[in-house]
Structure 1
Amino acid sequence: MTDDGGDSAVLGGTRRAERPRDGRADAHTPIGGTYEGPLRARLDALGELVGLSRARLDGAILAEAGRVLDEASARQRLSSRHTVVAIAGATGSGKSTLFNAIAGVPISETGLRRPTTSAPIACTWSDGAAGLLDRLAIPGRLRRKPLAGGDGAEELHGLVLVDLPDHDSALTRHREQVDRVLALVDAVIWVVDPEKYADAALHERYLRPFAGHAEVTFVVLNQIDRLPGEAADQVLDDLRRLLDEDGMALGEHGEPGATVFGLSALTGQGVGELRELLARFVQERAAPARRLSADVEAAAARLRPAYVAEGRSGLGERSREQFLERLARAVGAVAAGEAAEREWRRNAGRACGTPWLRLWRFYERSRVPGGRPPKTPAVVEEELTARQRVEQAVRTVAEEASAGLPAPWAHSVREAAVRGAEGLSETLDELAARAAAPAGSPDGRPPRPAWWPAAVLAQASMTLLQIFGALWLVGQIFGVLEPGLLPPVLVMSAGIVGGPLVEWACGAAARGPARRYGQDAERRLREAAAGCGRARVLDPIAAELMRYREVREQYVTVSGGNG
C-alpha cells in the first residue's frame, strides 16, 4: 500500500459504488435506531431546552448544545456499522508506528523528521465508511485499506482508524486539524511515551476536558521496550494516578472507564492485545452512542450555571400578598377608606343636624371668598412619593422572585417586572379615581340609608316645636295669647333638647354604615390595585418562572437526573 499503484487501486475502490459484503442491497444502516432509551430522551430534552431558552439566553451559551444536536443528527445519518477511532499523540510518541502496527502494513509515514504526519490519514477495514470520512474531511488520497485489494482482519470489520497530526505540533493548522477531528470521532487512542506522559499540555488541554469521555478513550503507554525491569509498571501506575487527578475514570475491575495499558509499537509487544480490545469495542457498535452521551453530559455541565438555581426559587404567597399590600398603600387605599367614612358621616350630619347648626356652617363658609373652604393645594411630592412606592414595590417583588435563580433567568424575571411597571402608577391613579366613586350614586355622593327621611322628619319636627314655642311666647308677650309661661317653655325646650338628641342619635346610628361604607371604598381600591398589579407585574413574573420550571425539567432530563 506504499506504492502509487496500490494507492490508485484503493482510490478506485473507494470511488466506485461500494457493495456490502453480505450481499444485501444496503449495508449502510442508519444509526438512528440506536438512539433509544435515555439517550433519545436526553437528545429530545436538549432540543426542547435550546428552543425554550433561545429568547432568554445568549447564543454563545447555547452554542455547545446546538453543536451537540447537529453532530448527533449528522452521525445518525451515517453508517452504524462503523466505529471511527482516532490515534492522537505528541511529537515522537510513536502514534504513526502504532497506526501501522494495527493496520499490519506501513500506511502512515514514520521517521525522525518532524512532523511526519501533516494531515489525518484513515484506514478502513470494510466498505461503507465513505460518508464518515467525508464528514472528517479526509480526502480520497489519504484513505487506505489495511491490505492491498483486501479487507484485512475479519475481527476489525467496521473499524475506521485515523492517524492525526501531532497535537503539540509547532504548526497551528496541525493543531486545528487535531481539534476538529477529535470533536467528530467516536473514540480516541491517546499514545504517550515514557518521557511526555505527564506533559501538562496533554492533560490540561485534552485529557482533563475530555474526562467525561472515558468510556471511549484508550490511553496507551508506548515504547515500554525502553523501560528496564519494573519501570514500565511504575510509569503506568503514575499515568493512572495522573488520569485519576484529571477526573478520568479508569476501566478497571470491570467498571466503565478509560482503558490504560502499555505496549511497544516498534517490537509488537502488546499490539495484539490492543487489536483484540479494538475488535470487541468495534463489534459492540456502542461507541457512537457512548460518545454522544458524553457530549450531552459535557454540554449539560456547561449549561448548569444557566439552569440550576441556588436553593428554592419562585414567588411565594407571602411575597405576593406583601406586593399587593404595598400597592394598596401606594394608592392610599386606607386613607381613601377613612375619607369615605368621614364623608358619609358628614352627609349624615348635614341631613340630620339641627337647622341652626347648618346655618352656622353656612355662615362660616360665607366668610370665605368663593363660599367654600379653601382646598389644600396639591403637593407634587405626594404624587412622586406614590410613584416611588409603586416602583419600590415592583423592585422588591422582582428581587424576591428572582432570588436564587441563575443569572439569565433572574434577569428575565426582573425585566418582565420592569416592563409591567411601565405606566403602572398612572393606571393605578385612574383605577383609584374610578374605584373611589360610590357605587349606585349618580351624583357622586354616598348613598343614604332608608332611615334618613325619618330622621330628617324628626329633626324638622323638633325645629317646628322650637318655632311654635317661640311664637307662643311672643304671642303672650304682645297679649295676643293668654299668659302661661310654662307650656310654651316646655314646648320650646322639647324642640331645643330634641334637635341635638336626634342629631346625636343619627350620628350614633351612622357610625356602622359609615364604617362599612369606608371599608367598601377601601376594598374596591385594594381590589382595583391588586387586579392591576397581578395583570401587569405578577402574571408576567409567574410566566417567566413557569418557563424557567419548564426548562429546568428539560435540563434535569438532559443531565441524566443530576440537575
Structure 2
Amino acid sequence: MSKSIMTGSTGIRQGLGARLAALSKVVELGTGRVEPKLLAEAGKLLLRAGDRLKLSADHTVVALAGGTGSGKSSLFNAISGLELSPTGVRRPTTARTHACVWGLDGAGPLLDWLQVQWRHRFARASALDKGDGRLHGLILLDLPDHDSIRALTDHEADRLIQVADLIVWVLDPQKYADASVHRKYVADLAGHDAVTVFVLNQVDRLAPEEVAECVKDLDELLRREGVADPVIVTTSALTGRGVNGLKSLLADVVTRRRAAVQRIEADLDRITADLSKIMPEPGAPPASASVDAARSVGLTDALCDAIGVPAVGEAMESVYGSRSADWIGWPYTRWARKLGRDPLGSLNIGDLRDEIRELTGTSVSAQPAEVDNAVQALAEGLSIGMHDAWRNGVRDAARSNSATLPTTLSNELAEVAPRLDKVPSWWKAVKGLQYSLVVLFGAGLAWVVTTLLSGVLELIDLPGGLVIFGDVLALPWVGLAMASVLGLGALSAVASRNFVTLGASAERERLEREMRRRVATVADSLVVEPVERELARHTQFYAAMQAVLPSSTPSSTGPKASRQVIPRT
C-alpha cells in the first residue's frame, strides 16, 4: 500500500469520525424531538460503526447475498478457486455463513465480530494465491439465502447484509426482479451505490441478446428503486464467464481499503437524509439562540399586567393618602367632618396591610389565563421558523412551571406588600406641631372669652392675680394671634398634603419597581431559564446536524465512477 493511500485513508477516517461524533450528539440532543425509531437506528449505526472502525482496516468484508437457486455458493467457490461452500439441488444449500480470507493476519477479531463460526472459516494459503495477490485483505462471505425457509439463516443473512463493507447481490435470470430482494433490501439500500454490486449470474443459460435485454431491464428496475448508478456484472459460475472481471472489481475495492468507510458513510448519509426532514424550511428566519433583553422585558411587562401590579400600586397610593389624614390633617377640619357622614367608612381600612396582601393574592390567582398568555407569547415569538417538534419543545419549556408560576408570583408580591402600620417620622412631627397650634388657639380663645366676660360685660370678677385677662386693649392683638394660629395650622395641613401626595407617588413607584424586580426574577427562573436551555439544545442540535451532513465534495470514490457492465468472457 502506498504512503499516499494510507494518508488518504487516515484523513477519510478522521472525517468520518467527526461525523459520527456529531451524530452521537444529535442522538443525545434529539431525544423527545426526533422520532424514536430514527434515533434507535442512529444509535445502532453508531455502535456498528464504532465496532467496525476499531477492527482491521486492512481487510474488506464482501458479502455474496442472494436468493435460493441464484448460484451464490457456486460463485463463491469460483472466486475463491476452491470448493469451500456446498452446492447442490437441495435448498437451502448454505445453512451457515462461510468465509474465505485472503491474508489471515488480523482477520480473527473481525470474523469474531461477524460471528462466522470457526469451522466455516477458510484461508487462502500463499501457495494458492498466485495471480490473486491483489485480493490480499479480502474477506469473502457466502451468506445463507435471504429467502430461506429457515428463520435462523434468514436472520443471519439480514444481520450480515447490515454490517458487510460491500454487498454483492447475486441474481439469476429467472428471479432478478424478485420482490423479496428489491422491496426488502435494494430499496432500503438506495444511496449505497459505492458499496453495492449486482451480479446477473447463470448467463450461460441465455442467448447474447437475452443477456443484454435482462441487463437493461435490471438497470431500469434498479434506477426506479433509487440506485442512481448501478454496477451490473454478468457472470456464469458454471463456465467461469465474467468471474475474472468480478474478481478484478473486487481486487480494486480491496486495494483501495476504503469500502468499510464508504459503507458507514452510506449508512450515515441515509440516516442524515431522514434526519434532514426536521431541518428548518429553506429561507426560514434563523431561530433565536437565547432570550434577548427586549423579549425578557416584554415578558415581565406582560406578567405585571396579568397579575395587576399597576392596580396594587394605585391601591397602595390611595391607602397611603387616606391614612395620612389621621396624622397630618388639620384637627379642627377633621373634627368638623366627624359631625357629618364619614366618606371613608365604606373603605373599611382597618388592617390595611391585610387588605393589600389580599388584593395582591387575588390579582394573581384570578388571572391564570393572562399569565399563561404572556408565557405563550414569549414561546411563540422565539420559535418562529423552527420545526414543529422544536417549536413544541420551546412551548413545553416555557410552560414547564406553569402550575407553580401564579402561586410563586403571589407569594413574592405578598412579601413586598407595604408596611402600612409604619408611620413616617415627619408625620408625627407635623401632628405634634398641629396639636400645639390647637392648644395655642384654645388658650387664646379662653383668654378672649374671659376678657369679654370680665372686662367688657363685667359679668364676672377675676381675682387680683388674673388681671391679665381683663386687658381689653389686648383683644385685637390676641385675635390676630389666633387668626395666625389658624392660618398656620391650615397652611401646615395643605403643605403636608402636598408632601403626602409626592410621598405616595414615590412609594407607589418604589413598590411597583420592587414588584417588577421580583416578577422579573421569577420570570427568569421559571420561564426564561427553561426556554434558554431548550434554545441552547436546539442550537447545539442543528450545529451537530450541520457537522453530520455530507460535504459537497465526495470524500471517496466507489468501485465505479459511472454505470459499469462487465461483459461475459
Q: Deviations over 1:200-253 (max 9, x none)?
A: 332222112112322111122334444445443444333333333322231xxx
Q: Deviations over 1:281-339 (max 9, x none)?
A: 1011111111122222233344456x645654446435433322232234432122212
Q: How far apart are the structure 1 equivalents of 2:298 and 2:168?
A: 61
- Please say which of residues 422-431 and 374-383 is displaced more in the overlay: 374-383
Correspondence 1:279 to 2:251? yes
Residue in structure 1 matched with residue 318 of structure 2 by the alignment: 342
Letter in 2 for 1:325: D
Distance 1:49 1:32, change over 3 A: farther
1:29-428 mapped onto 2 (5 Å cutoff): 36-51=13-28, 61-128=38-105, 129-145=107-123, 150-151=128-129, 153-228=132-207, 230-250=209-229, 258-304=230-276, 308-309=279-280, 311=284, 312-314=286-288, 316-317=291-292, 318-360=294-336, 384-398=365-379, 413-414=394-395, 416-428=397-409
Letter in 1 for 2:253: F
Tell me, yes or no, if the aligned pair for 2:364 and 2:407 is still in contact at 8 Å: no
Letter in 2 for 1:138: V
Q: How far apart are the structure 2 equivalents of 1:424 and 1:499?
A: 51
Tell me, yes or no, if the aligned pair for 1:462 and 1:494 is still in contact at 8 Å: no
Distance 1:341 1:448, change over 3 A: farther
Q: How far apart are the structure 2 equivalents of 1:548 and 1:526?
A: 30
Distance 1:230 1:493, change over 3 A: farther
Distance 1:406 1:276, change over 3 A: same
- Please say which of residues 528-537 and 324-333 is displaced more in the overlay: 324-333
| Unmatched segments (≥5 aa) in structure 1 | 1-28, 251-257
Letter in 1 for 2:232: V
1:68 Cα offset (Å): 2.1
Residue in structure 1 matched with residue 528 of structure 2 by the alignment: 538
Residue in structure 1 matched with residue 557 of structure 2 by the alignment: none
Letter in 1 for 2:192: H
Q: How far apart are the structure 2 equivalents of 1:482 and 1:142?
A: 142
Residue in structure 2 matched with residue 430 of structure 1 by the alignment: 411
Q: How far apart are the structure 2 equivalents of 1:371 and 1:125?
A: 100
1:188 Cα offset (Å): 0.5
Residue in structure 2 matched with residue 13 of structure 1 by the alignment: none
Q: How far apart are the structure 2 equivalents of 1:403 and 1:367?
A: 53
Q: How far apart are the structure 1 equivalents of 2:46 and 2:543?
A: 18
Distance 1:412 1:561, change over 3 A: farther
Q: How far apart are the structure 1 equivalents of 2:231 and 2:348?
A: 101
1:83 Cα offset (Å): 0.8
Residue in structure 2 matched with residue 560 of structure 1 by the alignment: 550
1:491 Cα offset (Å): 6.3
Three-state SS of the structure 1 residue aligned to 2:401 is: helix
Distance 1:112 1:34, change over 3 A: farther
- Please say which of residues 172-181 and 418-427 is displaced more in the overlay: 418-427
Q: Please, what TM-score do these two structures have when normalized by structure 1?
A: 0.77
| Unmatched segments (≥5 aa) in structure 2 | 1-5, 457-469, 553-569
Q: Deviations over 1:100-150 (max 9, x none)?
A: 332234433334433333322222222222332222222233223567963
Tell me, yes or no, if the aligned pair for 2:308 and 2:363 is still in contact at 8 Å: no
1:85 Cα offset (Å): 0.4
Q: How far apart are the structure 2 equivalents of 1:436 and 1:231?
A: 95
- Please say which of residues 71-80 and 370-379 is displaced more in the overlay: 370-379
Tell me, yes or no, if the aligned pair for 1:365 and 1:373 is still in contact at 8 Å: no
Distance 1:521 1:370, change over 3 A: closer
Q: How far apart are the structure 1 equivalents of 2:551 and 2:304?
A: 43
Residue in structure 2 matched with residue 24 of structure 1 by the alignment: none
Letter in 2 for 1:191: V
Three-state SS of the structure 2 residue aligned to 1:244 is: helix
1:164 Cα offset (Å): 1.7
Q: How far apart are the structure 2 equivalents of 1:320 and 1:264?
A: 74
Distance 1:131 1:340, change over 3 A: same
Residue in structure 2 matched with residue 520 of structure 1 by the alignment: 510
Distance 1:275 1:61, change over 3 A: closer
Tell me, yes or no, if the aligned pair for 2:307 and 2:364 is still in contact at 8 Å: no
1:464 Cα offset (Å): 7.0
Tell me, yes or no, if the aligned pair for 2:62 and 2:140 is still in contact at 8 Å: yes
The count of corresponding residues between Structure 1 and Structure 2 is 519
Three-state SS of the structure 2 residue aligned to 1:88 is: strand
